Amino acid sequence: MNQAANLWLYFAVVFGIIALPGLDMAFVMANSMLGGRRAGMAAVAGIIAGGFCHLLMGALGAAVVLQLWPQLFQYMLLGGAIYIAWMGYTFLRSSAVFTPGAAREVLAPTVIFRRAMLTSLLNPKAYIFMLAIFPQFLKPGQGPLWLQSGVLGAITAATQAAVYGALALAASQATLWFARNPAAAAWTARAIGLLLLLTAALSAAQAWKASLA
């Protein structure tokens, strides 16, 4: 396979993974609804920054460490599960969280950026991707591996910016609709809260299963 075909295949794989609903997508959507376009874009930037950290950790061998020390991966899964569960509880606690004018705090973009980055770093799927999928697209005979990693990382970041950026813009427009439909705002908050709690439960179950293996 030539280099161009390899890059297009990588893009197709990454696009499919990013487009699947998950923690990163839920975080971007929730913050876009809560704080509007600016908050949504801050969340997108944080997710992308977390992705670059994954790439750097993979390049420095952290992914190999996780593979050699499975207990560390289990601890990361549990930490991520606790953080996700806390987010889910936050949404379930207030049924008016998406209602404009409700008594809620709109976080500063810098805070959202840091939380989005933490969310990305606690996402176990990213480490699985770095261990199982990313190395398959590095071709030793097609140039320096650091340069290939940089190109693949740029493709990943651009895809995240396009998919999550579009989601942030669309979700931020929902604020006015929620103002006219408070019941829908309440059900949306509960649905996202339940989705995050389910994600937390699955992550915890995966960590428990791994500890018994």
DSSP codes, the chain: --HHHHHHHHHHHHHHHHHS--HHHHHHHHHHHHHHHHHHHHHHHHHHHHHHHHHHHHHHTHHHHHHH-HHHHHHHHHHHHHHHHHHHHHHHH-TTTTSTTSS-----HHHHHHHHHHHHHT-HHHHHHHHHTGGGG--GGGS-HHHHHHHHHHHHHHHHHHHHHHHHHHHHTHHHHHHH-HHHHHHHHHHHHHHHHHHHHHHHHHHHHHHH-
Between CA 148 and CA 46 the distance in angstroms is: 23
User: Which residue in 153, 104, 139, 119 sits closest to 28, CA to CA?
Assistant: 119
Average pLDDT, the chain: 78
Q: Give the residue, 65 or 164, on which the prediction is more confident.
A: 164
Taking only the tens place, the pLDDT of each residue in 56-98 is 876 666 556 556 666 666 676 677 677 778 777 877 776 555 5
Q: What is the predicted pLDDT for the residue at 59?
A: 64
Give me the phi and psi of 144, to 5 degrees please: -60, 140
For residue 193, name the pLDDT band (cuts at 50, 70, 90).
confident
Q: Give the residue, 99 or 195, on which the prediction is more confident.
A: 195
For residue 155, name the pLDDT band (cuts at 50, 70, 90).
very high
Q: Give the residue, 1 or 203, on which the prediction is more confident.
A: 203
Token readout for 57 is: 């950790």
Q: What is the predicted pLDDT for the residue at 42?
A: 94
Q: What is the predicted pLDDT for the residue at 46?
A: 95
Between CA 54 and CA 60 the distance in angstroms is: 10
User: Which residue in 29, 206, 15 sits closest to 116, CA to CA?
Assistant: 29
For residue 102, name the pLDDT band (cuts at 50, 70, 90).
very low
Q: What is the CA radius of gyration of the chain?
A: 18
Taking only the tens place, the pLDDT of each residue in 107-118 is 788 999 998 998
